Amino acid sequence: MMNIIDASFVRGFVKMADDGFKQGWHERNGGNLSYRLKTEEVEEVKPRLNCPGEWLPIGTNVPGLAGDYFLVTGSGKYFRNIIDNPEACIAIIELDDKGENYRIRWGLVEGGTPTSELPTHLMNHEVKKKVTHEKHRVIYHAHTTNVIALTFVLPLSDEIFTRELWEMATECPVVFPDGLGVIGWMVPGGREIAIETSKLMEKYDVAIWAHHGMFCSGEDFDLTFGLMHTVEKSAEILIKVMSMNSGKNQTITEDNLRDLAKDFNVNLPERFLYKK
Ligand code: 13P
Ligand code: ZN
């Protein structure tokens, strides 16, 4: 039996976390990631799991996930450090037979608890497990700079955000054809925001938290990271376009260019000088 950190789902998780860090989406301990293990993956790692510790409350009820195992990031742990020290930053947790409590079975060797956004992660997983017929396994929360910036200037409506972001990159409507949802500012880390986010996950794979970040759901690490990356890139293009539309206050004029041509004895064709 291999080490848990060598299992392919753990390696995929760690790589994705590092990719997110390199994008600049995970300042300090910002963001969190969770993965619902397949039955065969649970069997693969079971001989190496720790003796069960105490059951602790999830902070919400997820009966649809009773008995499931998850790989999750730890609360307060830095994405930046995951690649160097996964055992200290991430954990495998097991849920009880009611979906009300969890216990740590591996990882967080220096102490700690799963992400403070565990209620949102698990409520999203519960919804997605059902509506995708068990296909979706990854829930990803990142502090994506451009999407966050847009939540200060665009109306916080699903329709407006979806339409604006679809328009900025031809592939967007293909990558998230169901659109995306937005919720206004709420206190993070609890059951209330988890309920609102999981409602959006019934119909979308992307939920934006105003002035905070984004949640994405997907089948695997590539698709979920790719979704986050696509939405954030589209937001970056939109911000560039909006910034450019503010116009110039002053510029090099046609006449300036003519004067330059004269003094420097170069020929600047008129057709490039004249602006339609
Ligand atoms: P955690 O460190 O508890 O995962 O919290 C980070 C975060 O992004 C909260 O929204
Ligand atoms: Zn956050």
In this predicted model, what pLDDT tens digit does every residue of 137-184 receive, in sequence order? 999 999 999 999 999 999 999 999 999 999 999 999 999 999 999 999
Computed over every residue of the chain, the mean pLDDT equals 96
Q: Residue 246: its pLDDT value, please? A: 66
Element holding 226 (H helix, E strand)? helix 221-244
In this predicted model, what pLDDT tens digit does every residue of 65-107 receive, in sequence order? 999 999 999 999 999 999 999 999 999 999 999 999 999 999 9
Q: What percent of the chain has pLDDT over 90?
A: 91
Closest CA to 37 of 125, 140, 131: 125
Look at residue 199 and give its three-state secondary structure.
Answer: helix
Place of tokens 């339609």: 276
249 pLDDT above the threshold of 70: yes
Closest atom, ligand 1, to C-alpha of 209: 10
Closest atom, ligand 1, to C-alpha of 74: 4
Q: Domain residues of the chain, as ranges?
A: 1-116, 117-276
**CA distances from residue 254 to 82, 98, 212 in whole angstroms, order as listed:** 55, 74, 45
Let me know: does 74 contact 90? Beta carbons within 8 Å.
yes
Under CATH, domain 117-276 is a member of which superfamily? Class II aldolase/adducin N-terminal domain (3.40.225.10)
Tell me if domain 1-116 and domain 117-276 are identical in fold: yes
77 CA from centroid of ligand 2 (Å) = 12
244 pLDDT above the threshold of 90: no
Q: 241 or 251: which carries more pLDDT confidence?
A: 241
1 pLDDT above the threshold of 70: no
Would you give the DSSP letter of residue 213? E
Name 110's Cβ contacts closer than 8 Å, sequence gap at least 6: 88
Residues with CB under 6 A from ligand 1: 29-32, 73, 75-76, 115-117, 141, 188
CB neighbourhood size of 128 (10 A): 25
Q: Which CATH architecture has domain 1-116?
A: 3-Layer(aba) Sandwich (3.40)
Residue among 27, 28, 29 whose CB has most ligand 1 atoms within 8 A, to mutate? 29
